[in-house]
Structure 1
């Protein structure tokens, strides 16, 4: 049992590159779950605004240095 208690901190330290992403994913998932209702309320307006920007009309202007 004492061998296990000595090796456990060593393995926990070695697995820091695994623990950091796991903690980040957990915190990010909790944050997304908490802010999801607020995002759901603004999603239709944001999608409409993105479509409106992509349909920009107007005259086509040649790039600098290409006009004849």
Structure 2
């Protein structure tokens, strides 16, 4: 029984990412409906007839 806490302590580098992944998955599952509701729109996207606005070559700062 003395080895169980030692092994658990040695596995801390494994437990931390697993806990973070579990928390992230839970957060994504809770936030997904709101994110989906925000993303869907009823009006069509507006597209400029002249294309996307981009800087001319060599003018990037």
State the distance in 1 between where 2:17 and 2:24 align. 10
Q: Which residue of 1 aligns with 2:10?
A: 14
Length-normalised TM-score, structure 1:
0.62
Which of structure 1's runs of 4+ aligned residues deviate more than 2 A? none
State the distance in 2 between where 1:15 and 1:6 align. 15
Q: Which residue of 1 aligns with 2:31?
A: 35
Pick the structure with greater CA Rg: 1
Length-normalised TM-score, structure 2:
0.68
Gaps of 5+ in 1: none
Backbone CA RMSD of aligned residues: 2.9
Gaps of 5+ in 2: none
In terms of fraction of residues, the more helix-rich structure is 1
